[in-house]
Amino acid sequence: MYQVVEGKRPVPGNDREIRIASGMSPEDTEIFLDMATACGLFSLDVMATAEDMAWESAYGDGREAHTFLRASTNECGQEKTVGFICYGPIPSWPERHELYGITVDPQYHRKGIGTALLAEMEKRVARAGGKQIFLETGSDYRFEGAQSFYEANGFEHERRYIKQFVPAEGGSVYRRDVETNDHEDAIHQ
């Protein structure tokens, strides 16, 4: 298991460290696309959109509508990228964000990296005034692992269509209410 160095969101029982940072470089884009392809869950349309978003971030000016976070660890003295998450605000729906996608290197599954990326994303969404995070995933048997992962991390399956967020045919929508640390905010005021 790993502990987050940047972002201060430790994962219980960790004995290694990961670093979570914003941004995407051209080299990161290739790593991200390889990881996303390896998971086998993204359709061709979703992969094309993900590729566009990744390249836009890699060559953008920082004002993109979405944010990539990259998780890395030190392996034998070399920094190794082990996961990504991409999210952003939902247009015309204040205080709501969408998790566009998350992927972790298959060699690092079940080590807390996905959970750490979700926690860091939630912290940043809360800091930006976000109240809820939505995501869409498939609903057939291939997505049972993803659904279990999201549910274990506090996302709830939406049983009805939600304004501004209607799933594609065969999709399921999940929602997580963002926790704010009002006590911590009061201390910093």
In the numeric block, which tokens belong to residue 182? 């009002």
Of 13 and 81, more confident:
81
Section 143-164 average pLDDT: 85
Instruction: For the chain, give the number of residues.
Output: 189
Section 137-158 average pLDDT: 89
Of 154 and 172, more confident:
154
Q: By percentage, how much of the chain surpasses pLDDT 90?
A: 47
Residues 6+ apart with CB under 8 A from 109: none
Domains in the chain, ordered, with CATH? 2-187 (3.40.630.30)
Q: By percentage, how much of the chain surpasses pLDDT 70?
A: 81
How would you classify the pairing of strands 78-89 and 96-104? Answer: antiparallel
Report the alpha-carbon angle 46-54-85, nearest 5: 75
Query: What mean pLDDT, rounded, does the chain reach?
Result: 83
Tens digit of each residue's pLDDT (9 = 90 or more) over 93-140: 889 999 999 999 999 988 999 999 999 999 999 999 999 999 988 877
